[in-house]
Structure 1
Amino acid sequence: MYTLSLVKLLAFCYSLGATGHLIELKASTDLPHGASQPVDHAFASFSWPVHFFADYAGNKSCPNHFSQDIINLLHEKTGAYPHIRVGGTSADRAILNTSQSSSIVLSAESDNGIPLEVSLGPVFFEGFENFPSTPWTFQVNLANNKSNALENALAEARAAISHIRGNLYAFEIGNEPDLYPGDVRPLDYTVADYVKEWRSFADAISTEVLHGNRYGLNDWTLFQALTFVFNLNGFSTAQAFKDGIDMDGHVKSVSWHQYASGNQAWVRLQESFMNHTAVTGNLSQYIEDMTLIHSYNPNITFLLGETNSDYVNLNMSQIEGVFGSSLWLIDYLLYGMSVNITRFNLIQGTTFGYAGWTPVEHNGLAPQVRAPLYGQLVAAEAIGRHPIVQVKALDLERDDLSAYAIYESGVLARYLVVNLDGWNSTTKYARPSQKFALDVSHRVKSAEIKRLVGPGASADTGITWGGFSWNYTDGRLGRTGKDDTEVLKVLKGAVRLEVDSSEAVIVELQQE
Structure 2
Amino acid sequence: MNTLKGNLIDFEIGNEVDLYPCAVRPCGYTVNDYLQEWTRYADAISDVVLKGNSYGLDEQRFFQALVFANAELNTFTTQNAFNGGIDLTHHVKSVSLHHYAAGNQAWVRLQETFMNHTAVVANLSIYSPANNYLKTNYPDVTFLLGETNSDYTNLLMSQVEGVFGSSLWLIDYLMYGMSLNISRFNLIQGTTFGYTGWVPVPTGNMQPYVRPPLYGQIVVADIIGHNPKVQILPIHLGPELWKFSAYGVYESSKLSKYVLINLDEWNSTTQYPRPSQKVSLRIPSGSRGATVQRLLGPGASADSDISWGGLSWNYTRGRLAQSGRPHFEALPVSKGEATVTIPSTEAVVVTFDRSIY
TM-score under structure 2 normalisation?
0.96
Q: What residue in structure 2 maps to residue 193 of structure 1?
A: 33
The Cα of 1:190 is off from its aligned counterpart by 1.3
How many angstroms apart in 1 are the aligned matches of 2:322 and 2:165? Answer: 22
Match of 2:285 in 1: 442
TM-aligned CA deviation for residue 313 of structure 1: 1.1
Question: 3-state SS of the aligned residue for 2:289?
Answer: strand
Partner residue in 1 for 2:117: 276
Specify the code of the residue in structure 2 equivalent to 1:411: K
- Structure 1 residue 503, shift from structure 2 partner: 0.3
Paired amino acid for 2:258 = Y
Written as runs of structure 1 = structure 2, the 5 A alignment for 1:288-307 is 288-307=129-148
For residue 14 of structure 2, what is the aligned residue in structure 1?
A: 174
1:271-420 map, 5 Å: 271-397=112-238, 398-420=241-263
- Give the equivalent residue in structure 1 for 2:3: 163
Looking at both structures, which has the greater relative contact order when contacts are Cα pairs under 8 Å and sequence separation is at least 6? 1
Between the aligned partners of 2:200 and 2:210, the Cα distance in structure 1 is 9
Give the CA deviation at 1:189.
Answer: 1.4
Task: Measure the CA separation in 1 of the matches of 2:90 and 2:206.
Answer: 48
SS state of the match for residue 452, structure 1?
strand
Give the match for residue 496 of structure 1.
339
Q: Does 1:222 align with 2:222?
A: no
Whole-Å separation in 1 of the counterparts to 2:317 and 2:57: 38
Give secondary structure in 2 for the equivalent of 1:182. Answer: coil
Give the corresponding residue for 1:483: 326
CA RMSD between the two structures: 1.1
The separation in 1 between residues aligned to 2:80 and 2:104, in whole angstroms, is: 29
Superposed CA offset, 1:312-336 (max 9, x none): 1114221111111100000000101
Structure 2: runs of 5+ lacking an equivalent: none
| Contact kept? 2:158, 2:194, Cα under 8 Å | yes
Distance 1:451 1:414 in 2: 13
Distance in 1, matches of 2:137 and 2:279, equals 44
Partner of 2:51: 211
State how far apart, in whole Å, the 2-side matches of 1:449 and 1:278 are. Answer: 27
Does the aligned pair in 1 maintain the 2:6–2:57 contact within 8 Å?
Answer: yes
Q: Deviations over 1:22-44 (max 9, x none)?
A: xxxxxxxxxxxxxxxxxxxxxxx
Answer yes or no: is the 8 Å Cα contact 2:275–2:343 preserved in 1. yes
The offset of 1:294, in angstroms, is 3.0
Structure 1 unmatched ranges of 5 or more: 1-160
Deviation at 1:387, TM superposition (A): 2.4
**More deviation, 308-317/273-282:** 308-317
Q: Relative to total residues, which structure has the larger helix share, 1 or 2?
A: 1
**CA distance in structure 1 between the partners assigned to 2:136 and 2:311 by the alignment:** 46
Shift of 1:359: 1.8
Q: Using the alignment, how far apart are the partners of 1:420 and 1:492 within structure 2?
A: 29
Matched residue of 2:257: which SS? strand
Q: Distance in 2 between matches of 1:484 and 1:260?
A: 33
Q: Structure 2: which amino acid aligns with 1:321? A: G
Is 2:80 the partner of 1:239?
yes
Please tell me the residue identity of whatever aligns with 2:38.
W
1:246-284 CA-to-partner distances (Å, cap 9, x unmatched) read 121100010000001111111111011100111011111
Letter in 2 for 1:436: V
SS of residue paired to 2:341: strand
What SS does the corresponding residue of 2:60 show, helix, strand or coil? coil
* 1:339-371, Cα deviation, whole Å (9 max, x unpaired): 111111101111111001112111121111111
Letter in 1 for 2:201: V
> 2:284 & 2:19 partners in 1: Cα distance?
52
Q: Are the equivalent residues in 1 in contact too, given 2:142–2:183 (CA < 8 A)?
A: yes
Alpha-carbon offset, residue 212 of structure 1: 0.5
SS of residue in 2 equivalent to 1:450: strand
State the distance in 2 between where 1:412 and 1:298 align.
Answer: 26
SS at match of 2:47: helix
What is the Cα deviation at residue 233 of structure 1? 4.1
CA deviation after TM superposition for structure 1 residue 488, in Å: 1.6
Tell me, what secondary structure is at the counterpart of 1:201? Answer: helix
Residue identity in the other structure for 2:151: D
Q: Displacement, 1:479?
A: 1.1
Structure 1 counterpart SS, 2:87: coil
**TM-score, reference length from structure 1:** 0.67
Identity score, percent:
58
Higher CA-based Rg: 1
Partner-residue secondary structure (3-state), 2:12:
strand
Residues 99-135 of structure 1, C-alpha deviations (whole Å, 9 max, x = no match): xxxxxxxxxxxxxxxxxxxxxxxxxxxxxxxxxxxxx
